[in-house]
Structure 1
Amino acid sequence: MSVTAPTTRNLITDYYDVITSAVDQCGAVPGGPAGTPGFAPGFDLPELTPAVREYYSAATASWSPLGEYGGHHLQLLDLTANPGTQTTKTFASMVIVARAVEYIRRTGTRLCIFTPTSGNKGVALRDSVARAYAARLVTPQQLSIVVLAPQSTRHKFRHDALAADPQSRQVNPLLRYTGSDPEGVKSLGRAFVDEYAATMHDKHGVTLWYTLDLKNYLVADAARAAFEADVAPASAARPRWHAHAVSSAFGLLGYNLGRDVLEAAGKASPADRPGFLLVQHLGTPDMVLSLRHGSFERNNCPTYTLDESAGTWTQDKDPHFPAVTDDPTEVLDPTFYTHRPVTSPAMNALIERHGGDGIVVSRRECAQRYPAARDWLANAGLKLPADPEQLREWSVVMALTGVCNAIDRGLVPVGHDIVVHGTGSYSNDFAVADADAEVSTVADVVAAVLNRW
């Protein structure tokens, strides 16, 4: 396969107007007042001064042809270029922090972002805060972040600039949740902000911002649609699906918001709106179950039979699930940890309207596809390690495996191209960050956080 130079854009600075229009399109508004649990700044972004452009400089994405598979043309939207994150979470995180910067500039308020995360979002928000410091947009006394992550994703956190500098580390703690359910970080984080937002504001002069609201992410991901329209516009004559490894499908919903913006402006046609292929793992196949069965119940998963001679589990009843796996409840990547995502109804409706499907993959299937996937991605400029055991983030490999399996099993209609969203890929090549505290209760979080200001 020949190597084609990717087309690259900065998804934020090149499409600032699209992000602003996406805010209006989805009706995003500020949250409650400072010091309340529902506080959120407005969606105003700073002017694109040289310092702000420096801050945004890592927000690049590229578009490359991957070649043909099973009669379908494959293309890659690579969202992993930021070396500080190597995931798509860069873009929304930079916009979130830029909003904080603008709010601080206008009001003089001290802000502390509080985010529960499975891993990548927290890494990206920390990276964005560090970049804001480096660009001299804010100081650690003005803006800080508390990240709460489960112990199962310890390997995803880098010893970053915030951890390396003692002053920054003091006000930007990384908390490791030791509870049994990784998704418990969400309820614990919410409970802390609900109970202590007023205390942080009144006694410490710090306004907490709990950032899990969906619109915080949609508006930045709308730029994906603008990039596509710019460099490889869809065509009704050649239908297209977008494939994405998902937990809650924020990225695809953001892309769809971008399409709404473009179509409203007459820059894209509703007739060529792509369909969507959701790719998940067996640990949390909830969106695929919801799409296929209208329910999150796992009794809709196919029954697997143990092949004792091979030590694997197999099934051949449902092409939307792995044919072979080492474990029918396997957690391929703990990034994908959301059960019963509230976004499923919206995604189901989009697929019903525009076409698409869902598929679940196993680690064994990803390993079988790995050599070919590695070659394809190398030709597009995305390097994978020779040994898949060195991967710490499986999103891109999951998405490609899901695409190939879906094509092989006849789930993708004839004549459809597929755009693979390359949302995350990194390997065992960085020092893992030490947590600043281990927590399991609100009292633990209070002890770890309140005395830092």
Structure 2
Amino acid sequence: MAATLSAPTTVLKNALTHYHAELGQALAVLEHHRAAGEAFSPAFRLPEPGPALEEFFSASDIAVTELPRYRGHRLRLLDLMRNPATRTTKTLASLTIVARAVRHIAETGDRIMIVTPSSANKATALRDAVHRAIASGLVTAGQLQITSVVPAGSTGKLWSSPLGEDASLRRRNPLVVHECAEPASVKDLATAFATGHAERLHRQHGVRVWYTLGLDNYRAADMVRAFAERDLLPADQSARTHVHSVSSAFGLLGHHLGHQIIARDGRSAPPRARYFLVQHLGTPDMVLSLRHGTHDRAELPAYELDPTTGLYRQDQDPHFPATTYDPDEHLDPTFYTRRPVTSAQMDPIIATQGGGGIVVSLQECISRYGEVRALLSDADVALPADPRRLREWSLVMAVTGTLNAADRGLLPDSEDVLVHGSGSYGEQDYRPLPAGHRLAAADVEELAAHVEEAARAADGR
């Protein structure tokens, strides 16, 4: 299933089909440890292999590209962004989530309504996966639906798709925008809806509401990163540093679980994973937790305005930006999680296995943008020449953080560095969702009304 496109790049085609059996065994572990009494969630089981499922999973390619060495480090890119309908790693988790829903529907006859809060990319990927399931014939448009809740500040990152362009599908699969001062409030809104209205919707419309934000829903697919690393990269190092732009580090926690599954099965394991987190000044909470044991922003270094350059500077802590246009900036609304509960899991893993973290600023990303673009030129990643056209900064953040960390001597001493490419797209890659294709909800009652209307549409009313 692996193919070499050019000297530095190897592509693993249709990773979810390739690892179907191994992934199924790993999912069984999650199913075994599932907490009793939790809200509705389909079993951690995939449909049986077949042509329709293979077509559905065909957007799950993964690639590894050799990058130029930097300050003694051998750099590679783990490209998880190869679905042209999303350009983010959220495709892998979304396909797995929807596949579990497909199996549940086939076995029980239940209808399912996925409900997810998102900063943008998760909504785009899950909507793409739902449409792929319908288009491939795995389910009908009346059996599987999705409601996405997104903060108003992220609307520019929402992709138009067949679920919005078709009027009937748009009514059944609402994309709801919530105006809020704190973007993460969409999680509270979606949680309140699922808690207060899921049983009523099931009783009145026979539709199961699946609130999909749970960590294991995402760790499941991200285990595939570890399988691909084992098969595509050499195990000739004692340790490998994994660099990832993170909000809650779900992807790295999934990769860590994949390593555990490989070790449990007695297979030849990849090198020990040292995790290196990259964040931005708007949400530096996981790096703060690593450095200071708290998410308190009072622990950020103090910045002073340099009147000569107009930049804010600090030299107290190299783990934070040396220069920034604004200490209170928000580089990318995709990274919107404050005080992530996953710090309690990630911190001890890094303490045991090694790693670290760094925070980058927009000014640092801009100053290195040409260098980053050149570094990625052989990796089949097309960064726009003008950074103002970039809409998803995850990959640029990760590579900028890698270079800054190498310059400052912050990377672990392992020579081997794998950058997880979790998202990159510019305005040339998608058509923004038109304003007329989205709804608005100020509170849980308005959200419930939109979901009710979607359920009625699926009822044929």
Is TM (by shorter chain) over 0.5?
yes
Cα offsets for 1:363-415 (capped at 9, x unmatched): 11011111111112121111110011101100000000000000000112444
State the shift of 1:233 in Å: 3.3
Cα offsets for 1:304-330 (capped at 9, x unmatched): 001123221000110000000011121
1:451 corresponds in structure 2 to 453
Supply the distance in 1 between the matched residues of 2:295 and 2:34 (Cα, whole angstroms). Answer: 32
1:154 corresponds in structure 2 to 155
Supply the distance in 2 between the matched residues of 1:248 and 1:294 (Cα, whole angstroms). Answer: 16
* Pairing 1:159-178 to 2, within 5 Å after superposition: 159-178=160-179
1:324 corresponds in structure 2 to 323
| Residue type at the aligned position of 1:260 | Q
State the shift of 1:337 in Å: 0.6
1:290 corresponds in structure 2 to 289
1:11 corresponds in structure 2 to 15
1:259 corresponds in structure 2 to 259
State the shift of 1:5 in Å: 4.4
Supply the distance in 2 between the matched residues of 1:415 and 1:244 (Cα, whole angstroms). Answer: 16
Supply the distance in 2 between the matched residues of 1:31 and 1:258 (Cα, whole angstroms). Answer: 20
State the shift of 1:278 in Å: 0.2
Distance 1:12 1:193, change over 3 A: same
Supply the distance in 2 between the matched residues of 1:277 and 1:21 (Cα, whole angstroms). Answer: 28
2:245 corresponds in structure 1 to 245
* Pairing 1:12-411 to 2, within 5 Å after superposition: 12-27=16-31, 38-237=39-238, 239-269=239-269, 272-411=271-410
Supply the distance in 1 between the matched residues of 2:104 and 2:28 (Cα, whole angstroms). Answer: 18
Contact 1:32 1:40 in 2 (8 A): no
Supply the distance in 1 between the matched residues of 2:403 and 2:207 (Cα, whole angstroms). Answer: 49
Contact 2:8 2:67 in 1 (8 A): no
| Residue type at the aligned position of 1:151 | A
Cα offsets for 1:397-437 (capped at 9, x unmatched): 00000000000001124442110000000011222113531
Distance 1:28 1:123, change over 3 A: farther
Cα offsets for 1:12-42 (capped at 9, x unmatched): 1111233223223445566778xxx811010
Cα offsets for 1:137-190 (capped at 9, x unmatched): 111100000000001111111110101111111110000011211100001100
TM-score (norm 1): 0.96
| Residue type at the aligned position of 1:22 | A
| Residue type at the aligned position of 2:198 | A
SS of 1:47's equivalent in the other structure is coil
State the shift of 1:264 in Å: 1.3
User: 4+ residue runs of structure 1 moved beyond 6 angstroms?
Assistant: 30-33
Distance 1:440 1:31, change over 3 A: farther
| Residue type at the aligned position of 1:182 | P
State the shift of 1:228 in Å: 0.6
Supply the distance in 1 between the matched residues of 2:20 and 2:232 (Cα, whole angstroms). Answer: 17
SS of 1:243's equivalent in the other structure is strand
1:425 corresponds in structure 2 to 424
| Residue type at the aligned position of 1:268 | S
> Runs of 5+ in structure 1 lacking a partner?
none
Supply the distance in 1 between the matched residues of 2:354 and 2:51 (Cα, whole angstroms). Answer: 42
Supply the distance in 2 between the matched residues of 1:339 and 1:157 (Cα, whole angstroms). Answer: 21
| Residue type at the aligned position of 1:438 | A
Supply the distance in 2 between the matched residues of 1:197 and 1:32 (Cα, whole angstroms). Answer: 18
Distance 1:169 1:122, change over 3 A: same
Supply the distance in 2 between the matched residues of 1:119 and 1:61 (Cα, whole angstroms). Answer: 22
Supply the distance in 1 between the matched residues of 2:294 and 2:161 (Cα, whole angstroms). Answer: 40
Contact 2:8 2:66 in 1 (8 A): no
> Runs of 5+ in structure 2 lacking a partner?
1-5, 457-461
Supply the distance in 2 between the matched residues of 1:129 and 1:322 (Cα, whole angstroms). Answer: 39
1:441 corresponds in structure 2 to 443
Supply the distance in 1 between the matched residues of 2:242 and 2:235 (Cα, whole angstroms). Answer: 11
State the shift of 1:269 in Å: 4.1
SS of 1:378's equivalent in the other structure is coil
Supply the distance in 1 between the matched residues of 2:447 and 2:321 (Cα, whole angstroms). Answer: 40
State the shift of 1:242 in Å: 0.2
Contact 2:230 2:269 in 1 (8 A): no
SS of 2:40's equivalent in the other structure is coil
Contact 2:28 2:45 in 1 (8 A): no
Supply the distance in 1 between the matched residues of 2:157 and 2:22 (Cα, whole angstroms). Answer: 31
Supply the distance in 2 between the matched residues of 1:279 and 1:17 (Cα, whole angstroms). Answer: 33
Contact 2:243 2:420 in 1 (8 A): yes
| Residue type at the aligned position of 1:288 | V
Contact 1:367 1:388 in 2 (8 A): yes
Q: Which moved more, 1:284-293 or 1:260-269?
A: 260-269
Supply the distance in 2 between the matched residues of 1:318 and 1:30 (Cα, whole angstroms). Answer: 41
Contact 1:149 1:175 in 2 (8 A): yes
SS of 2:59's equivalent in the other structure is coil
State the shift of 1:440 in Å: 1.7
State the shift of 1:11 in Å: 2.3
Q: Which moved more, 1:341-350 or 1:244-253?
A: 341-350
C-alpha RMSD over aligned residues: 1.7
Contact 2:28 2:44 in 1 (8 A): no
| Residue type at the aligned position of 1:148 | V
Supply the distance in 1 between the matched residues of 2:89 and 2:316 (Cα, whole angstroms). Answer: 34
SS of 1:12's equivalent in the other structure is helix
TM-score (norm 2): 0.94
Contact 1:259 1:268 in 2 (8 A): no
Supply the distance in 1 between the matched residues of 2:412 and 2:106 (Cα, whole angstroms). Answer: 51
SS of 1:196's equivalent in the other structure is helix
